[in-house]
Structure 1
Amino acid sequence: MNILVINSGSSSIKYQLFKMPSTQPVCSGLVERIGIEGSFIKHSVFPAGEKLSIEKDAFISGHGEGLKQVLALLSEGLHAVIASPGDIAAVGHRVVHGGEHFSGATLITDQVKKQIKKLFSLAPLHNPVNYKCIEVAEQTFPSAKQIAVFDTAFHQTIPEAAYRYAIPEQYYSEHGIRVYGFHGTSHKYVSEQAINWLGKPHSKIISIHLGNGCSITAIKDGKSIDTSMGFGPLNGLMMGTRSGDIDPSVIFHLMEHSGYTLEQLSTLLNKQSGLLGVGGSSDMRDINKLAGEGKDKAKLALKLYAYRIKKFIGAYAASLNGIDTIIFTAGVGENDVEMRAAVCDELDYLGIKIDKDKNKSYQGELLDIGMDDASVRILVVPTNEEYEIANQCFKLLN
């Protein structure tokens, strides 16, 4: 069964084609800088374990044009992997916000699309783009089942004491204001990999997803029980451009004394803060370079970033009543040796002790980087949201 997975961002489309139940993709790719000068596509095919890559530079005006380019790469030329759109049995879509309506992979109907649309205001950078890609995929692959996998679904197991805010009940019952959590597809995938590696279904795991967006989740017996992102994806850890936790009084102060509008405040906290606001760049590689050059702002950004993570580890150790393992995943979590070391520093009272040599030896596959005598395992687990989406679609159709 051919399942195409589409993971769309505000200016990008990541995709992978799986011939399920195989865990290895037939091909994968990235359409980047959609609607921006310098658009490009990277497409890789994997025949007989090899990797053949194609790169194209072309202005891509929108996500519709991007998907047309993807279809051409899938079905045309020497390295075509399908004969026609009809060869695709299902298209799995990552949808960021599902509210309380969806707790698993869901066949997309008109009613489901209406629910996704209702949630545009809660995930304004993602849900509208996810919706657009669903509509384009319906036209591009008319015979395929369209399936949504929601980032919020994994967190539907969070207990009420953790997902409710301490505000009057009517704001929850009438407006749905509560913790929803995000990055659920990633946290689900890496925690399942860790559970299999540990051989311990009943386990206490802290999963740390560090990319441009960052979140941390407490997972007990394979189920999310708390997570750092809340009603929207702005809360919790410091991120590339998002502030993470901030006292709401700051917002009132800026509105009252500096005349900030809601739009200006949204831009400030979502697009101008985090690593960018403190250190001068939203890319951790740039921050590390600037810190290496002695720039104090970049050094401070690194300290703030690591401190926030450590603080949540302590909180979630309390929520879980202990820890079996912590997981580092996503772009920064998988690739930044120094940040992993900074996060684990001085956490030996919790049983977290990193092995510096093992930490440096990570090569892209699941690795335990903890000291042999430590009571808590420290795992680096490469996330694969696309495969997790394909697997959920496959299970739904079967």
Structure 2
Amino acid sequence: MNVENAHAHGNEHGEGQIVLVVNAGSSSIKCSVYRVIDDPNVQAGARAILGAGGQIEGIGVAPRLEAHMADGRLIVDQKFPVAQVADHDAAFRLLRLVLAVGLRDTPPAAIGHRVVHGGSHFKDATLIDDQVIAELDSLTPLAPLHQPHNLAAIRAVRIAAPELPQVACFDTAFHAGNDIMAQLFALPYHYYEEGVRRYGFHGLSYEYIAHHLHAVAPEIARGRVVVAHLGNGASLCAMHDGKSVETTMGLTALDGLPMGTRCGALDAGAVLWMMERGMGHDEIQKLLYHDSGLKGLSGVSSDMRELLASDSAQAKLAIDFYTYRIAQEVGKLAVVMGGLDALVFTAGIGQHAPQIRAQVCERLAPLFGITLDSAANEAGNERVTARESRVPVFAVRTDEEGMIALHTARLLRNAQAR
């Protein structure tokens, strides 16, 4: 399984399936056009070649649309009034118009969607129908920042192009095979049977990293690896031989590490205390999902770039707590695997914030013998540790959209072969 850049290989006009990928997040929508072609030389027998991609970020706050062809040519880079892109529906309609350039008058064979929560039922990519939508909608309370936006994009496509197959690809699926020890809460067991369990998220990102490591460093991929997906949402995953063993997120995407606006791990008694003070469900949900994390601790921003540039003592406190918790969870995951053979940083902060990588590695150095190569780290090289480092550390660009394209094409081929 491999995700490539079309410009690098010159295959953008070759045969294959055209797949439009939609990744609707809490404040942004990414759309990408991929051509998926057969390739017997890669693990899964297919490659996803990027044709064009774009995203709208700051939806409802400070909307900005940016789109490029795969070779870097700019299609558009424009800011919009809030009223023009006030919600995800408006953002999706705008992106579809822009990416018609990338489709080059060739309609997609299918649309693949990132869906954050698949619950206990969906353990692999699935074709979307009315029943699937209803089941995914029932999971909205477990992913209120993401699931409504994922479903809004799916519904918009069904109205605009009802004949077009749609495929849901789940962030929870990569962790579906985890041992029961990694899934349980210490609640009466019937709650586990009813679906109250630790699912884990960011699975599409972790799956891409697993395949990338298999291609470039198979000896590391077969070992014990912790991957740190650090973006506005953040989690860690312990992988052994390319498979998920344990992760820091649980029933919802609220658990684990502190994030941009989410609190991360929290004593459930704190929620009971809030209720005793008269706070209702909606007020507590807003606090935990929208007003906590880096934003809440710093009082400055949820954006790591702004925090790193700030001279505020509270901003420094938020950063220090963030790296403290990351290092703490890396240690826990290493215990689960019986050791650590590599650490990988990915996603927006993980790939682009050398200061964060440096702080985390400094905290972990006494335990794992990590020796950072400062120049490589600042330059954003893929390997950021010195040759003598006992545990190598990497900074790798993830590609959730490419994984979605591959899953969508595979499912479509299997459906057509029946």
Same fold, TM exceeding 0.5? Answer: yes
Q: SS of 2:85's equivalent? A: coil
Partner of 1:8: 24
**Structure 2 vs 1, CA of residues 284 and 99 (structure 1 numbering), >3 Å: closer, same or farther?**
same
Kindly provide the CA deviation profile for residues 302-353 of structure 1, in whole angstroms up to 9, marking residues without a partner as x. 1100000011111111111111111100111011111100001142332322
2:262 to 242, 266, 290: 242
Report the count of equivalent residues. 382
Partner of 1:299: 316
Structure 1 residue 362 corresponds to structure 2 residue 380: yes
C-alpha displacement of 1:38: 4.4
Partner of 1:353: 371
**Structure 2 vs 1, CA of residues 170 and 194 (structure 1 numbering), >3 Å: closer, same or farther?**
same
Q: Which moved more, 1:127-136 or 1:334-343?
A: 127-136
Q: SS of 2:393's equivalent? A: strand
Kindly provide the CA deviation profile for residues 92-132 of structure 1, in whole angstroms up to 9, marking residues without a partner as x. 00001000111221111222112111111111121122111
- In the alignment, the residues of structure 2 paired with residue 239 and residue 5 of structure 1 have an alpha-carbon distance, to the nearest angstrom, of 25
Partner of 2:304: 284
Partner of 1:120: 140
1:395 to 402, 405, 410: 410
- In the alignment, the residues of structure 1 paired with residue 178 and residue 291 of structure 2 have an alpha-carbon distance, to the nearest angstrom, of 30
Partner of 1:337: 354
Q: SS of 2:55's equivalent? A: strand
C-alpha displacement of 1:195: 2.9
Q: Determine if contact 2:230/2:348 at 8 Å carries over to the other structure.
A: yes
Q: Which moved more, 1:326-335 or 1:187-196?
A: 187-196
The 5-angstrom pairing of residues 68-217 of structure 1 reads 68-75=93-100, 79=101, 81-83=103-105, 87-174=107-194, 176-200=195-219, 201-217=221-237
C-alpha displacement of 1:255: 2.5
One-letter amino acid matched to 1:362: G
One-letter amino acid matched to 1:6: V
Structure 1 residue 39 corresponds to structure 2 residue 63: yes
C-alpha displacement of 1:71: 2.9
- In the alignment, the residues of structure 2 paired with residue 323 and residue 180 of structure 1 have an alpha-carbon distance, to the nearest angstrom, of 23
Aligned-residue sequence identity (percent) comes to 37
- What's the RMSD between the two structures over aligned residues? 1.8
Partner of 1:52: 74
- In the alignment, the residues of structure 2 paired with residue 24 and residue 395 of structure 1 have an alpha-carbon distance, to the nearest angstrom, of 14
- In the alignment, the residues of structure 2 paired with residue 141 and residue 371 of structure 1 have an alpha-carbon distance, to the nearest angstrom, of 52
- In the alignment, the residues of structure 1 paired with residue 30 and residue 363 of structure 2 have an alpha-carbon distance, to the nearest angstrom, of 37
Partner of 1:314: 331
- In the alignment, the residues of structure 1 paired with residue 246 and residue 336 of structure 2 have an alpha-carbon distance, to the nearest angstrom, of 8
Q: Determine if contact 1:191/1:205 at 8 Å carries over to the other structure.
A: no
Q: Determine if contact 2:145/2:289 at 8 Å carries over to the other structure.
A: no
**Structure 2 vs 1, CA of residues 262 and 71 (structure 1 numbering), >3 Å: closer, same or farther?**
closer
Give structure 1 stretches of 5+ with no counterpart: none
**Structure 2 vs 1, CA of residues 80 and 15 (structure 1 numbering), >3 Å: closer, same or farther?**
closer
Q: SS of 2:289's equivalent? A: helix
Give structure 2 stretches of 5+ with no counterpart: 1-16, 38-46, 414-418
TM-score, L = length of structure 1 = 0.91
One-letter amino acid matched to 2:122: F
- In the alignment, the residues of structure 1 paired with residue 355 and residue 88 of structure 2 have an alpha-carbon distance, to the nearest angstrom, of 36
**Structure 2 vs 1, CA of residues 206 and 9 (structure 1 numbering), >3 Å: closer, same or farther?**
same
Q: Determine if contact 1:105/1:148 at 8 Å carries over to the other structure.
A: yes
Q: SS of 1:347's equivalent? A: helix
C-alpha displacement of 1:57: 4.2
C-alpha displacement of 1:50: 4.6
- In the alignment, the residues of structure 2 paired with residue 304 and residue 64 of structure 1 have an alpha-carbon distance, to the nearest angstrom, of 36
- In the alignment, the residues of structure 2 paired with residue 202 and residue 92 of structure 1 have an alpha-carbon distance, to the nearest angstrom, of 29
